[in-house]
Chain A
């Protein structure tokens, strides 16, 4: 019995295998429509995240399984003082697998240590969100056909964006990957993330200028620059437009650039970009569902 709390728990081979299953599901959905018959997924969301929850639930339904949901978990068991450990033990009596989101870092790990069924971390505060990274990886694989030898640009809030940190960590394991880290000074990648890149003998460059970085990129991963992250409003107003993606800024981009975003977006990608064939962020959402299906199958030991 195995759980997935952190993307780093999956080896490069296991990621390849999950991506292969994801692609096979896309090619032969009917072959998977009954794989999880009689199985139940419990979605325990102690923090609202309707999109992620619906993605897990859609994944389980498409595998022919059932879903038990504790949609407003934060108002039920936790408020009655039940510990995460006890909740995990109780849900283990009803379901075959758990997807858990929790505002506190490490809560899904505590659940995994106490449950007798697999636990998938569906996001623990600003810490880990492995299925988002799996969605990102399937998108890269489908759009680029590979994970190695490419220039990946990350733009926006690289300091607090956990999806950025996880994807850098996952991509650091492939040869010839170069990172272009595009952000305001205030929101640069933390040093431990840079150390991880260096530990794999890969290179990175930091810049504040999206437009000048654009021609080099094979992938552009956008994130939102939030006003709350700045000390004063002037800095925010001065900088915010530099990190909004528009058709004009894409003028010098490669024709096969892949534009990604973990969604939801506010205004960091202008709606005018949506019709560009290089926009992949809605495909990412769909890929997320396929990877959750692949992960559920793997953790339940179903082939």
Chain B
């Protein structure tokens, strides 16, 4: 398999093998016009297998989503064929409109326009709680 190397764009690397499609969906990459390559099960010295996403356009990706779904993912920015920025993602302190509060007594259930905001309450366990009602967040 041969995939063109990127001149200007983003490489999302070190994705846990099998999570590539989920990240593709969550980042809304299906809406892009440019070339996007998802590489599944690439071999990695560190991880054994990993997924990689290459995006042939200099877009901004939501690193909060990446950090939440798969902490440890790296985001490389490439310009004129050179690596100009490398970011390692981690669990973000706040998640805005990524998790939805499921507590029927929460104010977010009656006020639809309110952003669903979750705060990281336990980094080790990766636990998030709704800022309004303190209910634990669950991934959908």
Identify the A interface with B (CB < 8 A).
Answer: 83-85, 102-107, 109-110, 124-127
Contacts and interface: CB of A to CB of B under 8 A. Distances in A.
6 contacts: A102-B107, A104-B105, A104-B106, A104-B107, A110-B111, A127-B133
Interface residues of B, number: 15
Contact of B132 (A83, A85, A103, A110): A110
Nearest to A110: B107
Contacts of A126: 105
Nearest to B113: A83
B113 A106 contact: no
A85 B108 CA distance: 12
A109 B111 CA distance: 13
B103 interface: yes
A38 B38 CA distance: 66
Contacts of A106: 106-108, 130-133
B109 A104 contact: yes
A105 B106 contact: yes
Given A83-B111, A84-B111, A125 B132 contact: no
Interface of B: 103, 105-111, 113-114, 130-134
Nearest to A128: B134
A151 to B, nearest CB: 28
A109 B106 contact: no
A242 B111 CA distance: 42
Nearest to B103: A105
Q: Across chains A and B, which 3 residue pairs bring their CB atoms closest together, nearest first?
A: A106-B132, A105-B133, A104-B107
Contacts of B105: 103-105, 125-127
B18 to A, nearest CB: 33
A109 B113 contact: no
B110 A104 contact: yes
Contacts of B107: 84, 102, 104-107, 109-110, 124
A84 B109 CA distance: 13
A107 B107 CA distance: 6
A127 B113 contact: no
Contacts of A107: 107, 132
A124 B103 CA distance: 14
A44 B10 CA distance: 51
Contacts of B103: 105
Contacts of A83: 111, 113
Contacts of A109: 107, 131-132
A105 B92 CA distance: 24
Contacts of A124: 107
Given A105-B133, A107-B132, A125-B105, 7 more contacts: A83-B111, A85-B114, A103-B105, A104-B105, A110-B114, A127-B105, A127-B134
A162 to B, nearest CB: 11
Nearest to A102: B107
Contacts of A110: 107, 111, 114, 132
Contacts of A84: 107, 111
A105 B132 contact: yes
A83 B108 CA distance: 11
Contacts of A104: 105-107, 109-110
Nearest to A103: B105
Contacts of B110: 104
A250 B42 CA distance: 72
Contacts of A85: 111, 114
A266 B80 CA distance: 76
B72 to A, nearest CB: 28
With a 10 A CB-CB cut-off, give which of A85, A106, A110, A127 has the most chain B CB atoms: A106
A268 B103 CA distance: 30
A110 B131 CA distance: 10
B33 to A, nearest CB: 37
